[in-house]
Amino acid sequence: MTWTRRRWLQAAAAGLLVPAPLWAAAAPTDRRFLFVFARGGWDQSFCFAPEMLSLSGVQADPDGVAAELNGIPFVDNSLRPNVSGFFRAYGDRTAVINGIEIRSIAHEMCTRLLLTGSQDPVADDWAAILAGHGDPGLTLPHVQVVGPSFSDLYTSKVVRVGLAGQFASLLDGTALSASDLAVAALPVTAEDPVALMLRDRTAALQAGSRSGSDSERFYREYGQALDALADVQDQSDELELSVSGDLGGQIELVLSCFERGLSRCGFVTHDGWQDLGWDTHGNNALQHDNYEELFEALNVLMAELDSRQGPSGDPLSQETVVVVFSEMGRTPRINQSGGKDHWTFTSAMLVGAGVQGGQAVGAYDDSVFGEPVDLASGAIDESGGVRLTGGHLGATILALADVDPGPWTGDEGPILSVLD
């Protein structure tokens, strides 16, 4: 069953937002990762950066007040109860990371830099790398429901679902129906003669290929894909693969995959209140509604992670890291259209297993640039610290999975103070 916005609200009203007790974290190699992307660029002064409220050069939330819950400083507003509710219930599991420098103001490049740490058009994002270093037997290693994805070495680990039900229609064969392509519908089951022939042929070619060659890798991954097809089709009656654009529906699919042990990573996207987006060039007041709706979903997400069991029998919250981010921030001052333009510094949140919660790392200076940070302690260090980048965020995420970030982020190491 797909979780609509109404169902999420009903869950909240039923009391699912009461924080559950904490459990011991799973081993890093067993952790799962859910990426929640606020597409368009959020205004940090409405949530993550209360220091901006006192800066004369910043036009922040006019009704916001500086507050702190469970060690998390944030911007409170009585009209955004879901934000304060989240930090009250889950702040001890949350690390806010402020002042991440993106070094671009173009949406696509900002997203690439934040998700890969590189401008290289041929690179894998953090989720693809995590999936590539996970259990090779996973059926859907990385479920990309909605949003950007970058892959090279681990393309075979990324499964794009598509809001229009593309993945489901490929599985049942309707994507190749006569009404769509003027051809006869093709069978797409793992037991079809064509699939069996391809499996046998793949096995034979793989056996005769040179170990370590590109062809050997292709045959191995193709064989794994055929196995995964059979697994997905076995569960297709119970797993709803067609989702709505609603954030709750997207998250429901990922959690279902986590529960069944099908996936290590999932990626969902929030396009703002009524899908009006976070890119508020003309009406920055939308940031208010965007944050309230996003944190409404995050509250229910965390309650669901506490109440649902993974394949091990333990709560999903014991083994899941939630990464909440936007590709950029917004300028300190309102423009002539009542909005704010693109800014090269942003914030992010890490929540859950392996995260040292109850802290905010980094801050914004008087110019709304990110302050230099000591990676070991998380403290502001003007003389010896470094400005945080997407590479540092990615290195921290990889470290949470016990994946060596060095080959992917180079000298941009993890923020050690965030690691539990």
Q: What is the mean pLDDT of each run of 10 residues along the chain (420 residues)?
A: 38 44 65 98 98 96 96 97 98 98 96 97 96 93 95 93 67 55 48 65 63 61 61 65 81 94 96 96 97 98 97 94 98 98 98 98 97 98 96 98 96 97
Domain ranges of the chain: 27-163+247-418
Helix (H, G, I), strand (E, B) or coil at 322: strand
Radius of gyration in angstroms for the set of CA atoms belonging to the chain, rounded to a whole number: 22
Tokens standing for 115?
């998700």
Superfamily of domain 27-163+247-418: Alkaline Phosphatase, subunit A (3.40.720.10)
What pLDDT was estimated at residue 8? 37
CA distances in angstroms from 145 to 127, 196, 257, 265, listed in the order given: 12, 29, 11, 10
Q: Hunting for tokens 């009524």 — which residue is that?
A: 274
pLDDT digits (tens, 9 = 90+) for 270-302: 999 999 999 999 999 999 999 999 999 999 999
What pLDDT was estimated at residue 14? 47
Q: At what angle do helices 390-400 and 107-116 cross, to 10 degrees?
A: 40
What pLDDT was estimated at residue 220? 64
Question: Which DSSP helix (H) or strand (E) runs through 123?
Answer: none
Chain centre to alpha carbon of residue 235: 24
pTM of the model: 0.84
What pLDDT was estimated at residue 383? 94
Helix (H, G, I), strand (E, B) or coil at 11: helix
Identify residue 69 by its one-letter amino acid code. L
CA distances in angstroms from 83 to 66, 69, 79, 273, 329, listed in the order given: 13, 11, 9, 15, 18
Neighbour count for residue 143 (Cβ, 10 Å): 28
Phi and psi torsions of 35, nearest 5°: -95, 125
For residues 215 and 223, the answer to whether their CB atoms sit within 8 Å is: no
Question: Which DSSP helix (H) or strand (E) runs through 207?
Answer: helix 193-208
What pLDDT was estimated at residue 18? 41
Beta strands 142-144 and 158-160 are parallel
Tokens standing for 34?
């859910």
Q: Hunting for tokens 């470290």 — which residue is that?
A: 399
Tokens standing for 88?
């009250």
Residue 417 to residue 420: CA distance in whole angstroms: 8
What pLDDT was estimated at residue 40? 98
Phi and psi torsions of 347, nearest 5°: -130, 165
For residues 272 and 278, the answer to whether their CB atoms sit within 8 Å is: yes
Helix (H, G, I), strand (E, B) or coil at 372: coil
Question: DSSP string spanning 156-174?
Answer: GGEEE--TT-HHHHHHHSG
What pLDDT was estimated at residue 137? 87
What pLDDT was estimated at residue 27? 85
Tokens standing for 28?
């890093």
DSSP 184: P
Strand segments, DSSP code E, in 65-176 are: 65-69, 72-76, 94-101, 142-144, 158-160
